[in-house]
Chains A and B, each alone.
Chain A
Amino acid sequence: MRKGAMRRRDFLKLVATSTTGAVLFTGCGIGDGDPEREFKIESPVLNPVDLVYGRDNWYATAAGECGLIVRVFEGRAKKVEGNPDFPTNLGASDARAQALVQEVYHPDRIAQPLRLTGARGSGEYQNASWDDALTELGNDVNGARGATLVITPPLSGPMGQVVNEFVRAADAQHVAYEPEDRVVLREAVRRVFGTDTLPTLDLANTNFLVSFSADFLHTWISPVQFSRQYGEFRQGREDVRGTYWHVSSRMDGSAANADRWLPITPGTEGLVALAMAQVMVSEGLVDRAVAERVYSGISLDQYAPDAVAETAGISAEQITELARRFAEGKPSVAIAGSLAAAHTNGLFNLTAVFALNYLVGSVGQAGGIILNPAPPFGSDVPGPSSGLSYTEWTGVVNDLNSGRYQLVIVNGVDPVYGLPEALGLREALANAGKVVALSSFLDDTTLQADLILPVHTTLESWGLIAPDPGPGYQAVALQQPVVNPFVDSRAAGDIFIEAATAAGASMPWPTYEDAVRAAVDSLRRLNRGNIEAADAKQYFMMAQAQGGWWDTTETADSAPNAPETATAAAQPEYAGDPGQFPLYLLPFPSNSLGYGETANLPWLQALPDPMTSAVWSTWVELNPTTADRLGVGTGDVVRLVTPRGSAEVPVYVNPAAHPDVAAVPMGQGHTDFGRYAKGRGTNPLDLVEPATESETGALAWAGTRVRVEATGRKVRLPRFEGQVPAFQLEGAPIIEVIPSEH
Chain B
Amino acid sequence: MSPRWGMVIDLDRCTGCQACVVACQAENNIPINTEAVYLQNRAIEWIRVERYWDGEYPNIKARYIPVPCMHCSNAPCEPVCPVYATYHTPEGINMQVYNRCIGTRYCAVNCHWHVRFFNFWQPKWPESLQNQLNPNVTVRSRGVMEKCTFCIQRINHAEQNARLDGNRPLRDGEVNTACAQACPTRAIVFGDLDDPESQVAQIANTTTRGYKVLAELGTDPAVLYLKKIDPEAPAHGGAESA
Task: Name A's B-contacting residues (CB within 8 A).
Answer: 9, 12-13, 16-17, 39, 41, 43-46, 48-50, 52, 54, 73-74, 76-82, 89, 91-95, 98-99, 101-102, 104-107, 109, 217-218, 223-224, 227-228, 230-231, 234-235, 241, 243, 251, 253-254, 256-257, 259-261, 263, 486, 591-592, 602-604, 606-608, 610-611, 613, 615-617, 623-624, 655-657, 659, 716, 718-729, 732-742
Are B13 and A234 neighbours in the complex by a CB distance under 8 Å? yes
Contact residues in B for A623 (Cβ distance below 8 Å) = 57
A78 (CB) vs chain B CBs: closest residue: B134
Find out whether the CB atom of A738 lies under 8 angstroms from the CB atom of B186.
no
Query: A105 vs B132: C-alpha distance in the bound complex, in angstroms?
Result: 7
Contact of A738 among B26, B41, B233 (CB under 8 A): B233
B17 near A94 with CB under 8 A, answer yes
- How many Å from the CB of B228 to the closest CB on chain A? 5
Q: Is the pair A95, B51 in contact by a Cβ cutoff of 8 Å? A: no
B95 touches A43 (CB 8 A): yes
- CA–CA, A613 and B156, complex, Å: 34
Flag whether B167 is at the interface (Cβ < 8 A).
Answer: no
User: Is residue B185 within 8 Å, beta carbon to beta carbon, of the partner chain?
Assistant: yes
Most interface-central of A80, A256, A486 (chain B CB within 10 A):
A256
Flag if A718 contacts B39 (CB, 8 Å): yes
- Digitize B35-79: 1 where CB-to-A-CB distance is under 8 Å, 0 elsewhere: 100110111010011111110111011111100000000000000
Q: Is the beta-carbon distance between A92 and B231 smaller than 8 angstroms?
A: no
**For residues 137 through 160 of chain B, which have their beta carbon under 8 Å from a beta carbon of chain A?**
137-138, 149, 152-153, 156-157, 160
Inter-chain contact A49/B153, CB cutoff 8 Å: yes
Given contacts A45-B95, A718-B35, A742-B208, contact A93 B87 (CB under 8 A): no
Contact A608 B19, CB 8 Å, known A107-B127, A616-B38, A720-B38: no
**Are A606 and B33 closer than 8 Å at their CB atoms?**
yes
Query: A736 and B60: CB pair below 8 A?
Result: no
Cβ distance B224 to chain A, nearest Cβ, rounded Å? 12
Question: Mask for B85-100, Cβ within 8 A of A = 1, else 0?
Answer: 0010100000111111
- Contact residues in A for B241 (Cβ distance below 8 Å): 727-728
Contact yes or no, A12 B242, CB < 8 A: no
Contact A718 to B38, CB < 8 A, known contacts A52-B136, A92-B186, A739-B233 = yes
Question: Complex: how many Å from CA A241 to CA B13?
Answer: 11
A657 to B215, CA, bound (A): 34
Known: A13-B83, A235-B12. A735 touches B132 (CB 8 A): no
Give the docked Cα–Cα distance between A94 and B156 (Å): 25
- Rounded to whole angstroms, the CA-CA distance of A724 and B43 in the bound complex is 9
The count of residues in chain B whose C-beta lies closer than 8 Å to any C-beta of chain A is: 102
Known: A591-B17, A616-B38. A43 touches B97 (CB 8 A): yes
Are the C-beta atoms of B156 and A92 separated by less than 8 Å? no
A610 touching B16 by the CB < 8 A rule? yes
Are A231 and B186 in contact, CB atoms less than 8 angstroms apart? yes
Do residues B83 and A724 form an inter-chain contact, with CB atoms below 8 A? no
A2 to B78, CA, bound (A): 33
The answer, among A604, A608, A722, A727, for a CB contact under 8 Å with B41, is: A722
For the residues of A in contact with B, the DSSP-based class is loop
Q: Is the CB of A45 within 8 A of B114?
A: no
Q: Contacts A95-B21, A218-B15, A231-B184 given: A603-B32 contact, CB under 8 Å?
A: yes
Q: Are B153 and A93 in contact (CB under 8 A)?
A: no
- Whether the Cβ atoms of B128 and A109 lie closer than 8 Å is yes
A81 to chain B, nearest CB (A): 6
A615-B33, A723-B38, A738-B229 are contacts. A79–B15 as well, Cβ < 8 Å? no
Question: Are A736 and B238 interface neighbours, CB within 8 A?
Answer: yes
Cα–Cα, bound, A627→B20 (Å): 33
Contact present for B152 and A259 (CB under 8 Å) = no
**Top-7 shortest CB links A-B:** A733-B238, A231-B185, A107-B126, A227-B184, A92-B184, A256-B62, A724-B114
Does B196 touch A at the CB level, under 8 Å? no
Known: A13-B102, A46-B152, A718-B35. Contact between A738 and B227, CB under 8 A? Answer: yes
With a CB–CB cut-off of 8 A, which chain A residues contact B83? 9, 12-13, 16
CA distance A287 to B233 in the complex (A): 34
**Cβ contact within 8 Å between A234 and B12:** yes
The verdict on B230 contacting chain A, using a C-beta distance below 8 Å, is yes
Hey, which chain A residues are within 8 Å of B240, CB to CB?
Answer: 728
- State whether A261 touches B61 (Cβ < 8 A): yes
Instruction: Please measure, in the bound complex, the distance between the C-alpha atom of A742 and the C-alpha atom of B186, giving whole angstroms.
Output: 21
Further 19 A-B residue pairs, CB within 8 A, beyond A77-B132, A82-B182, A104-B131: A12-B83, A45-B97, A94-B19, A105-B129, A105-B131, A217-B17, A227-B185, A259-B231, A486-B131, A607-B22, A610-B51, A610-B62, A655-B57, A656-B53, A728-B238, A734-B238, A736-B11, A736-B211, A737-B227
User: Which residue of B26, B57, B215, B239 contacts A656 across the interface (Cβ within 8 Å)?
Assistant: B57
Question: Smallest CB-CB separation from A217: which chain B residue?
Answer: B15
- Whether A95 lies near B32 (C-beta < 8 A) is no
Shortest C-beta distance, B156 to chain A (Å), equals 5
Contact of B3 with A by CB under 8 A: no
Given A76-B132, A623-B57, A739 and B230 touching (CB < 8 A)?
yes
Cβ A93 vs Cβ B100 within 8 A = no
B65 touches A735 (CB 8 A): yes
Nearest neighbor of A722 in chain B, beta-carbon distance: B41
Closest Cβ of chain A to B230, distance in Å, is: 5
